[in-house]
Amino acid sequence: MADTEQNVEHREQFSTAGAYVHSGEEYTRDTNYIEDRITRDGQPGKNGEPGWPVEAGRYRLVVARACPWAHRSTIVRRLLGLEDVISLGICGPTHDVRSWTFDLDEGAKDPVLGIERLQQAYFSRFPNYPRGITVPAIVDVPSGSVVTNNFPQITLDFSTEWQEFHRPGAPKLYPEELREEIDSVNKRVFTEVNNGVYRCGFAGSQQAYDDAYHRLFNALDWLSERLETQRYLVGDTITEADVRLFTTLVRFDAVYHGHFKCNRSKLTEMPVLWAYARDLFQTPGFGDTVNFEQIKQHYYIVHTDLNPTQIVPLGPDESGWLSEHGRHELGGRPFGEGTPPSRPASEG
């Protein structure tokens, strides 16, 4: 389907890269997502649209290894053992203004959906979809249409709505008794850290950058203090909060420190957070879902306004991620009463 001039303008403003530098402006993320949910009872949507019931094999989670927002969903899907229930489509690390593409697959087409661009699944449902074609996205396989790209809700629903299909020994990532505290921590982590690095990188003025920089590192100092005496962010087991922080920390030295000018300290120079991040990285479901090469390719090639040469740096050295972290001394039980996930045989 041909793009209208208006659609092209919107997709440039709300790029799949997530941002552009606008001179003199503070970076503001567009958070208007497709809010449909996949639920146990398949309740109708807000405007009376048909509901989306939980159903094994019906949906495909489309992600990119490079994207921190999509990375959350791959971690949670794996920790809960939903690999055989929700299939996984993986886009390549780079894209143009139109869409993420399936250039890693044979014939540059997703083998299940049969499409070259994620854009096609969005347009199948919304022919004039005016916003960015973002990952993660859940696609209804029978219709080939996008269901939702609401990344904060996707992982929560994996924990709460898909319980029937959780693997034996799956951890409780969003336990009811801790939800208020998890939500509070997640709110600050999102505004100051997850999105804070983007506010630094895409600041359009010195003042906007300075403000974002100080907010980011104030929050990282707060997290360091919190994690100095406890192994995980909330409670004594891994929760949704740890997943959300990890996907930013694991990208910090590779891209955010230099590319986004978040350069007061490297992660490796923040002892508590560096040990915490290594602890998670070495936990099944976390480090084995990381692809540093694709992460760097995405940021340094796609963000041409920040890196017009598109040169991808060779560093930093990744070997330190496997070094001893000493966090076991704080106690805690990574999976609570559960067990670690096994590595999926068919997914890298």
High-pLDDT (> 90) share of the chain, %: 84
Binding residues for glutathione: 100
- Residue 32: predicted pLDDT: 85
- Residue 274: predicted pLDDT: 98
Question: From the candidates 67, 91, 200, 262, which is the catalytic residue?
Answer: 67
Q: Which parts of the chain register pLDDT below 50? A: 1-17, 348
Question: From the candidates 20, 174, 198, 209, which is the catalytic residue?
Answer: 198
- Give the global pTM: 0.92
What contacts 89, CB < 8 A, 6 or more positions away?
A: 60, 61, 62, 63, 102, 110, 112, 113, 139
- Residue 16: predicted pLDDT: 40
- Residue 347: predicted pLDDT: 63
Give start and end residues of each alpha helix (H) in the chain: 5-13, 68-80, 119-125, 151-160, 179-189, 196-201, 206-227, 240-251, 271-281, 292-297
- Residue 287: predicted pLDDT: 97
Burial classification of residue 242, based on how many CB atoms lie within 10 Å of its CB (0-12 exposed, 13-18 middle, 19 or more buried)? buried
Rounded Cα distance, 326 and 324, in Å: 6
Domain edges within the chain: 5-165, 176-330
CB 80 within 8 A of CB 162: yes
Cα 42 to Cα 37, 38, 48, 49, distances in angstroms = 8, 6, 12, 11
CA dihedral 105, 110, 112, 114 (to 10 degrees): -130
What contacts 120, CB < 8 A, 6 or more positions away?
A: 99, 113, 144
Q: Is 198 a catalytic residue?
A: yes
343 closest CA partner among 79, 57, 66, 62: 79
Binding residues: 100
Q: Is 232 a catalytic residue?
A: no
Rounded Cα distance, 304 and 84, in Å: 38
Q: Does domain 176-330 have CATH number 1.20.1050.10?
A: yes
- Residue 42: predicted pLDDT: 86
CATH code for 5-165? 3.40.30.10
148: helix, strand or coil: strand
- Residue 48: predicted pLDDT: 67
Bridge partners of residue 140, in order along the sequence = 59, 145
